[in-house]
Amino acid sequence: MFPIEILEIFFKYSHGTDIINFRYVCKTWNNVITRLSRDTNMWQNKCQNEISIHLRRSIAQKLYPNISWTDFHESKDNLKWLSMYRTWMKWHKINEFNVSTAQFEPFFIRLPLVQITCLAVSESLLAVGSSEGFIAFYDIERSIVEPIFIADQMEHVSNVQFLRDDKRIAAISASNMYRVMLWDILLKKVISTPRYGRLISTTHGCVLITMKNKLIIRNKCTERSYDFLELYGTIVALVADGEEAFLWTDLGYNYKVSLNETPYMEEEYVEPPADKVLKYYVFRPWTAMCITMNGFLGISVNSQPWVMYEILSKLHGTPTALLFYADVLVLGLDSGSVHMYYVNNAELLTTWDFCPKNSKSIVVANQAIIALDIMDRLNKQYLIAATTEKINIVQLYDPS
């Protein structure tokens, strides 16, 4: 048996995945790893060395939405870093996951001609927007039958996002008439007068709102705005993490904007796709995607030219919703199926083979998937997929 001191050095320079497996070698190894996990910054170092900064921000925002990225990044809570590493590692094994699915209809589906339009997830909280203005909020770890709060936007809800910090749980919603509302989930009421905007995005304690070529950033008591050149087009996609925002316009201009006190901005240009685009998406790290009128999937990584994929012949459906999180690309199709691909590096998406054998394929519904999100809990991973009538909760779990 190796001396304890040698084991500590060995674990210090081992890959994080191997360390987790080493716990099963013997009781001594398990005890040493447990002590190092509790008393040293071993897992913080593993996360910083093995996980990109963009993925660390994304995962932290899902696991600990009430903690700012700055506070998390400086945290000495070793178990939080271990949780991040284990979560990141689990998403690598997506093709091995088993699944179980539950579905429900929000209360407003019983009303005439009302449809689901969007959704958002934060920890166990789920927000579901509708075509008639209702927004139903659920704690899905407690009940998918009774909502904890019902808000009324009074207009078609085009987007909803949670806004979290260390003191409050709120949500922000936007309508097809560009009216933006802020809701207090705990007090169950609106907490601000309406503002106007087309797109919204949130990160810890920070709200981003766009209108045509303008971006407004509100962070607690401060507000600043950017007016981009009108001839560069309308902002059509927006995402923010704890440090930066990424924007895309319909004419191909894209911007990286700092959310810190010292602002900076980078500008790039990518020639738009030749086909008419139904919807644009942007994801971390600096990945843009789109769905075209003829059902093609477009991908641009790091402001490189668009690569267009014909999906129908391979997956027997056209994409209707997209999600990219923790190195996993999720395609929701008009057939009601979902395909999940583990992508080790976003650059690989420009030469990707979207055949079924490379994906985790899940038949979720018999209608088109219109919205997707992830619920990432400690040791629990869920995919939330919406059709116009139902919310589908897909639990993903490691059979081992």
326-365 confidence digits (pLDDT tens): 999 999 999 999 999 999 889 999 999 999 888 999 999 9
138-160 confidence digits (pLDDT tens): 999 898 889 999 999 999 999 99
Q: What is the DSSP string of 298-344?
A: EEEETTPPPEEEE-HHHHSS-EEEEEEETTEEEEEETTSEEEEEE-S
Give the model's pLDDT for residue 1: 62
In a domain, 281, yes or no: no
331: left (phi over 0), alpha (psi -120 to 50) or beta: beta
Model confidence band, residue 26 (pLDDT cutoffs 50, 70, 90)? confident
In a domain, 183, yes or no: no
Q: Lowest-confidence range among 9-18, 35-44, 188-197, 279-288?
A: 9-18
Q: What is the dihedral of CA 23, 53, 172, 272, to 10 degrees?
A: -130
In a domain, 76, yes or no: yes
Tokens coding 309: 């994929």
Give the model's pLDDT for residue 307: 98
Model confidence band, residue 262 (pLDDT cutoffs 50, 70, 90)? confident
In a domain, 243, yes or no: no
Crossing angle of helices 78-92 and 53-63, in 10° steps, is: 110
Section 16-29 average pLDDT = 75
In a domain, 10, yes or no: yes
The domain tally of the chain equals: 1
Tokens coding 10: 């060995």
CB 261 within 8 Å of CB 278: no
> Which of the residue ranges 45-49, 66-70, 289-293 has the most confident prediction, judged by mean pLDDT?
289-293
- Domain containing 80 equals 4-92
In a domain, 8, yes or no: yes
In a domain, 278, yes or no: no
Greater model confidence, 262 or 74: 74
Model confidence band, residue 371 (pLDDT cutoffs 50, 70, 90)? very high
Residue 202 contacts by C-beta under 8 Å, 6 or more apart in sequence? 161, 162, 163, 164, 172, 208, 240
User: What's the chain's length in residues?
Assistant: 400
Give the model's pLDDT for residue 31: 79
Model confidence band, residue 269 (pLDDT cutoffs 50, 70, 90)? very high
Tokens coding 299: 């991908």
